[in-house]
Structure 1
Amino acid sequence: MHLTCHTAFSLRFGVLMPDQLVSKAAAWGVSCLALADANSTSCAVEFVSRCRAAGIKPILGISFWRDGQWLYTGLARNAEGWRELCAFLSKYSLEKKPLPTVPPPLPDCWIIYPRLCKPIQDFRKNELLGIRPQHVNRLFSHELRHHQHKLVVLAPVVTITDEDYSRHRVLRAIDLNTVHTKLTPRDLAQRGDRLLPPDTLHQFYKSYPDILRNTQRIIDSCEADFPTGLRINRQTFTGSKAGDYALLEKLALAGVTRRYPAGARFQRARLRVERELAVIRKQDFCSYFLITHDIVRYARAAGYQHVGRGSGANSIVAFSIGISDVDPIELDLYFERFINPYRASPPDFDIDFSWDERDDVIDYVFKRYGQDHTALLATYSTFKGRAALREVAKVYGLPKEEIDLLVRSPHDRAATDPKAAEVLKIAVGIIGLPNHLGIHAGGIIITERPIHYHTAQRLMPKGFPVAHCDMYHAEDMGLHKYDVLSQRGLGHIRSAVDLIKRNRGAAVDVYDLDKVKNDPKVRAMLKSGRAIGCFYIESPAMRGLLTKLGCDNYVHLVAASSIIRPGVAKSGMMKEYIRRYHYPHSFEYIDPVFKEHLGETFGVMVYQEDVMKIVHHFAGLDLDESDVLRRIMSGKKHNGDTFDRLREKFFAGAQVRGRDPEKAKEVWRQVESFSGYSFCKAHSASFAVESFQSLYLKAHYPLEFIVGVINNFGGFYKTEFYVHEARMAGATIHAPCVNRGRYLTELQGKDLYLGFIHVKSIAERTIFQLLSERERNGPFQSLTDCCARLDLDGSQLDLMIRVGAFRFTGKTKSELLWEKNAVFNPRSKREASHELFELAAPQQYFHLDLSPNHRSGHQLSAEQLDQAFDELELLGFPLCSPFSLVKPANETTAPGQEAALPAKAHQHVNGWGSPGQAGALATATDHSYLTIRAYFVCDKIVRTVKGERMSFGCWLDENGHYLDTVHFPDSLSTSPFQGPGVYRLRGRVAREFGFPSLEVAEMERLAYLGDLRFG
């Protein structure tokens, strides 16, 4: 008779996960539970499933709260009642209105009030008043005893034990951002709001059997009609299933003719299309394909680029109708990896759009399929480790210093401090509980009936409704997920194509994939690892792998995109693959099946599909069964009878085919150990297509491409290193300029003007005011002219002067700051327009020595140095060589060392290095020792097999070229990284498959000159 049960999805209020609540209730013989989370429907499907499995009758409801106060609870009598409750909660969330004190008529629901909010005589037929166990005795002298037909048992469930209540108090304090000692009874559930055995609960109401009978009547009238399965998805695209199949068949057959020229390959593709169509129709996925195609069709009509990836790229139907650009015939991709009769979870397409175009595509989906049928999926951020410990420590009032000590060594502190021990105990207790609701990266659900039959919606800051369920609950319901995702790589490509068209008048077709993948310049860049800015292949590790492989084609790039992943690399398969790649005759295949089906990857299982191939061809498992086995080993399905049955079938099938038993055991060992680390080949293939498109643009239009990367806010590296890449490609780098610059970075010929967006602390209002005035009335003639025409804040004007935006005037920064003091008058408001006569700066206010001797030599160098430090502060990096900012060092090799240092690069204000100069390690011999200066780019910390920390570093040398370092545990402990800057490195040169790196023995960060901010 618990009609209001809270789980942990009553965020920062409840403490019980659904399994805890249901298992305890079952142990105590509870026959019915009503879920009524606070303004949440998140765990409805899980709650119903667990209750039915435990033999408990589930009832679905919602507790409606406003400003931390419980208004009423609604219980659904049936599916219509659940829809009414979800729609009511959603309406007020989406309209950003507070919930009303009294709900509207909800005919298929029971409404239970926790207190009298209106005379009981005015209650509607379906409205009831809850009586708590501790309040029952008050009825003896209260007029409510005459209205027992309107009274029900109100025994809310928030906790089970006293420890649960302690966690509840902490969660409430976290939610209210206060210390737990300041909580009031109004902020908390009552101590008696806990699960009780049925006999105990009945005992409270024994004097009022009518209340018990009334409560049972309510329970008997409710049924949790919660539909699940594929039927709850949008059933058709055209209006009928026959129409859907006819349209999909038409699009697929037309597409395969367009994708493949006449010949044997076309015939093979046509047969596979027909086979896939039969499976898609049988599995009832026609509408899923057509809706995904519709989303892509809209995006293309709007001029948006997309990448169709994920397991969906295994489908030739997806390739034919334009969802994906990965050719499954070319790469021998298995359709069964995507759809097969044994797959319990629905398939999904991952469709990537540019980060600044995705929201428009999502908006189309909502408008096309209706907000009542569409929602984004949620994610639930949970309390985790150290963050949970910090949160609990704060509500216990610990000062920051003590919190830091506690987080650093929690068990040591807990052993000596009882309060720390209590904090740690509570923190451990809330780990894993949901903290707040967020938005899934791009999952969208589209339902057949209105979405409120399944879940409520909540309006998120982006303006789209989000369902009260995450991808796991959606999968449990049987909902298909349409992944409309975003990435910056597509933005790089789009911006570069637009800039090429604007600057050069050339139209570039990056979808001519045969041309892109076979371009000689592209293949040469790929082979040498010159991939800075290119999607997925620009990281130091990936560029190193490409160089080691000498990778110069699409197929091998697909493999490289997979073996770089941590699991494959950690298992040792990456190194083995590289060895076999270079020495293909140095090994023997374990079985002819490996040579026949894994010859492309030299007998190494690189992809998830490889697991399917081997168990299918070696032991005879069906392809769909092979996919089930892959999913089990990847942790996507529960191990159990299915796994044991498939293992037995594998060995039985191997025996039938005459395989050697020991060889069969070894193959199974490899499959079992590798499958969890593998990567979907279709994923790799999709990434590789986009990598080739990026490489093509970089090979032929390097400056436009890099500006596209910068204007989409980079990728793996900071903006500084994309600016450096443009410099190395021949660009002259300029600081933002009031006459030539724009909000984003601008390319004019080979002159690259950084955008004002990169200047820290500058306001968008200032930038847009400046650009608008310049557009209306022409360039600014001087600082004085700018001050006359713009209504600027003094600090904003200082930022522009300091970053160099007025250097067109020919005056130094010091002179401009003097002039600004003389002409800038913020109290003088004037209309922004040209003066009739140009105003000169009033020189009588100041005087500087502008003689040639003063403007050159040592003073000029000081000005440049000061400018560099201002750029460091405002842009995050200097536009000159960073090596010119450190104290001079006379680095020479020690006696007996074999290699000489590279020649020093010419230092100049605009940058350093040129493509013609050799990198620091390019000419060094193996095992030679070098002492060099290098500029820090990034590093990656990893753990050795012993659990020790080691690092891989990436640097720029004095010639502007990248170099890689290895820091073994001993070296890293004695010479740790100390943040950005120029370092002196000493170490031994090592080469692996022709790729050089420096194994660092000693490392020292060098101090900057002349500025205390960066010394």
Structure 2
Amino acid sequence: MASDRPTRDPLLREAMIKAAMPVVPVRPFVHLRVHSAYSLLEGALPLAKIIAHAVKDCAPAIAVTDTNNLFGALEFAQKATKDGIQPIIGCQLDVAFGDDDGESNRSYQKRQEVERFPLVLIAANETGYGNLVRLVSRAYLENTPGEDIHVTLAWLSELQDGLICLTGGPRGPIGSAIKAGHAELAETRLLTLKQMFGDRLYVEIERVAGYDRLIEAKTVDLAYQHELPLVATNEGFFPARDDYEAHDALIAIAESSVVAADDRRRLSPDNFLKGQAEMAELFADLPEAIDNTVEIARRCSYYPKNRNPILPRFAGGDVDNEDDAVRAEAQELARQAHAGLEYRLSTFGTAPGFTPEQYRERLDFELGIIERMKYPGYFLIVADFIKWAKSKGIPVGPGRGSGAGSLVAYATTITDIDPLRFSLLFELFLNPDRVSMPDFDIDFCQDRREEVIRYVQEKYGRDQVGQIITFGTLQARAVLRDVGRVLQMPYGQVDRLCKMVPA
């Protein structure tokens, strides 16, 4: 009975309830510069941990600003909104300052000499997100092979609409110029950005261990002089301070260096996800820099959403109505498939225990499902570029994965595997009861793969063709070997540790 008495005291019960409630800071703060694991070999923050931090810290919003990519944007937006957190989509892009003349014919050496500095660009609306996507794409596609990934000031000026810009902190164009003793250059760069972004430009202040107070003071003076708002950031790369050493090993792995090396990149133990209260205390003398993080979050009204796939058309512009286009494509696919099947049967015959009529019934069954699910255009396009590749003598694989279960694919030469002969199921590839995108796994000769890509771009339009990345992850044994190398451990010791890990 004695154990029940405390909970019957209303004052004690109220105190216990308050103690269990999360503490909401008096001055809210929003992280605007966070690197997820999609900042490849740089960030060590899974998206789930970023969102979990925001939930635990009662943060209203949080940004992901990976280095030179938007790989995690959609996944982050979906997971954040599911947990009631406003996702802010941004990117840390390297910008070439001094390359604002837009000359594409400058020598490679001259272009490499142009200084590049990180700027943080945040999508305020749908227009801004579209422009951010374009900037990232141009950074990869429109630079000379061998150049570092970057955008030019000319591109930035052209595509600044809808974007909020943070000046990059101490490593950015303004902080770097001040550090080098070039105050006038810092001011020139700041005014260039102000002319581009207007009231969407924020001067970024970051305070990690060992930060240069003189550089910060001069940066703040410049911001006040030109009536530009300050914003506080704490560039996050890893979850907690205790993860610093592990992350430092990751940086050494990325640079093919060792932890003990003096001439390599190092971050600060403070580059973790700090809480709102800690950030408010850190910037107690610049409260407006904290408040502006919330203001920026309020200005951001867009994040990418999942949507149904936009299926490619083989019919082209001749048919305006989608249903008419699908019908026309279905007729063309049926024509090609029936003709192709008759050729296959006359050349290779049927599988044991099957008749030609059973093949035709299976073909018609598949064609019906393909038309119902509006995929005939996809089959026609894939068949088209495979036939083109074979006609040019480019080696093409026989087919693998669930696509090998389609008789239509076999008849149209997408695959060279008879699904009836090997008892392969079409339903594993395309199932009318579970709508999912079909996926042909096609292998082309690595040496001539680019020829096929160029053919598809030229025939269907460059704006209709995209390439999708495949992410490689570090597996346990490989990680142990890499960590052992950067820690300069004896090879024999590392090898024994690796052999203890199950394959």
Q: TM-score, normalised by structure 1?
A: 0.37
2:346 is the alignment partner of 1:317: no
What are the Cα deviations for residues 735-787 of structure 1, in whole angstroms up to 9, with x where unaligned? xxxxxxxxxxxxxxxxxxxxxxxxxxxxxxxxxxxxxxxxxxxxxxxxxxxxx
- SS for the counterpart of 1:244 is helix
2:359 is the alignment partner of 1:269: yes
Q: 1:196 to 1:235 in 2, by over 3 A?
A: farther
Q: Residues 686-765 of structure 1: matches in 2 within 5 Å?
A: none
Q: 1:157 to 1:232 in 2, by over 3 A?
A: farther
| Shift in Å, 1:311 | 2.0
AA paired with 1:407? V
Q: Residues 455-854 of structure 1: matches in 2 within 5 Å?
A: none
- Structure 1 equivalent of residue 280 of structure 2: 202
1:77 to 112, 116, 124: 124
- Structure 1 equivalent of residue 229 of structure 2: 150
| Shift in Å, 1:292 | 0.9
What are the Cα deviations for residues 803-837 of structure 1, in whole angstroms up to 9, with x where unaligned? xxxxxxxxxxxxxxxxxxxxxxxxxxxxxxxxxxx
- Distance in 2 of aligned mates of 1:259 and 1:394: 55
| Shift in Å, 1:86 | 3.0
What are the Cα deviations for residues 627-660 of structure 1, in whole angstroms up to 9, with x where unaligned? xxxxxxxxxxxxxxxxxxxxxxxxxxxxxxxxxx
- SS for the counterpart of 2:74 is helix
| Shift in Å, 1:267 | 3.9
Identity %: 27
- Structure 2 equivalent of residue 819 of structure 1: none
1:132 to 206, 210, 223: 206
CA contact (8 A) 1:299 1:305 kept: yes
CA contact (8 A) 2:232 2:290 kept: yes
- SS for the counterpart of 1:64 is strand
1:404 to 485, 491, 494: 491
- SS for the counterpart of 1:130 is strand
Answer 1 or 2: higher relative contact order, Cα 8 Å, separation at least 6: 2
CA contact (8 A) 1:157 1:193 kept: yes
- SS for the counterpart of 2:90 is strand
| Shift in Å, 1:390 | 3.5
- Distance in 1 of aligned mates of 2:133 and 2:270: 28
- Structure 2 equivalent of residue 61 of structure 1: 90
Q: Residues 6-17 of structure 1: matches in 2 within 5 Å?
A: 6-17=35-46
| Shift in Å, 1:266 | 4.3
| Shift in Å, 1:133 | 4.8
- Structure 1 equivalent of residue 54 of structure 2: 25
- Distance in 1 of aligned mates of 2:456 and 2:402: 22
AA paired with 2:122? L
- Structure 2 equivalent of residue 161 of structure 1: 240
| Shift in Å, 1:154 | 2.1
- SS for the counterpart of 2:469 is strand
Q: 1:305 to 1:389 in 2, by over 3 A?
A: closer
- Distance in 1 of aligned mates of 2:345 and 2:219: 86
CA contact (8 A) 1:256 1:266 kept: no
2:380 to 278, 285, 290: 290
AA paired with 2:168? P
| Shift in Å, 1:28 | 1.8
What are the Cα deviations for residues 362-386 of structure 1, in whole angstroms up to 9, with x where unaligned? 3323433444443443333333344
Where does structure 1 lack aligned partners over 5 or more consecutive residues? Answer: 413-423, 429-942, 948-1015
1:241 to 309, 326, 340: 326
AA paired with 1:296? I
- Distance in 1 of aligned mates of 2:278 and 2:152: 33
- SS for the counterpart of 1:2 is coil
- Distance in 1 of aligned mates of 2:255 and 2:403: 45
Q: 1:237 to 1:203 in 2, by over 3 A?
A: farther
| Shift in Å, 1:113 | 0.8
CA contact (8 A) 1:39 1:62 kept: yes
AA paired with 1:292? V
What are the Cα deviations for residues 815-861 of structure 1, in whole angstroms up to 9, with x where unaligned? xxxxxxxxxxxxxxxxxxxxxxxxxxxxxxxxxxxxxxxxxxxxxxx
Q: Residues 359-374 of structure 1: matches in 2 within 5 Å?
A: 359-374=450-465
- Distance in 2 of aligned mates of 1:156 and 1:181: 24
Q: 1:410 to 1:270 in 2, by over 3 A?
A: closer
| Shift in Å, 1:205 | 4.4
CA contact (8 A) 1:25 1:195 kept: no
Q: Residues 934-973 of structure 1: matches in 2 within 5 Å?
A: none
Please identify the structure whose Cα radius of gyration is greater: 1
- Distance in 1 of aligned mates of 2:258 and 2:442: 45
Q: 1:298 to 1:382 in 2, by over 3 A?
A: same
- Distance in 2 of aligned mates of 1:267 and 1:406: 65
- Structure 1 equivalent of residue 162 of structure 2: 108
CA contact (8 A) 1:14 1:158 kept: yes
- Distance in 1 of aligned mates of 2:219 and 2:91: 31
- SS for the counterpart of 1:74 is strand
- Structure 1 equivalent of residue 70 of structure 2: 41
Q: 1:193 to 1:326 in 2, by over 3 A?
A: closer
- Distance in 2 of aligned mates of 1:367 and 1:25: 46
| Shift in Å, 1:165 | 1.4
Q: TM-score, normalised by structure 2?
A: 0.70
| Shift in Å, 1:344 | 5.8
Count the aligned residue pairs. Answer: 411
2:62 is the alignment partner of 1:51: no
- Distance in 2 of aligned mates of 1:249 and 1:266: 17
What are the Cα deviations for residues 48-94 of structure 1, in whole angstroms up to 9, with x where unaligned? 22212222111221112479975211112234323322332332333
AA paired with 2:205? I
- Distance in 2 of aligned mates of 1:142 and 1:352: 59
Q: Which runs of 4+ in 1 moved over 6 A?
A: 66-69, 134-137, 261-264
| Shift in Å, 1:148 | 5.7
- Distance in 1 of aligned mates of 2:220 and 2:130: 40
Structure with the largest fraction of strand: 1
| Shift in Å, 1:195 | 1.2
- SS for the counterpart of 1:80 is helix
Q: 1:139 to 1:209 in 2, by over 3 A?
A: farther
AA paired with 1:151? L
What are the Cα deviations for residues 158-179 of structure 1, in whole angstroms up to 9, with x where unaligned? 2232232112222222333433
- Structure 1 equivalent of residue 265 of structure 2: 187
What are the Cα deviations for residues 370-407 of structure 1, in whole angstroms up to 9, with x where unaligned? 444434433333333444334333333x3xxx521221
Question: Over aligned residues, Cα RMSD in angstroms?
Answer: 3.7
- Structure 2 equivalent of residue 93 of structure 1: 140
CA contact (8 A) 2:241 2:272 kept: no
- Distance in 2 of aligned mates of 1:100 and 1:259: 52
CA contact (8 A) 1:386 1:407 kept: no
CA contact (8 A) 1:32 1:57 kept: yes
- Distance in 1 of aligned mates of 2:447 and 2:265: 42
- Structure 2 equivalent of residue 546 of structure 1: none
Q: 1:370 to 1:149 in 2, by over 3 A?
A: same
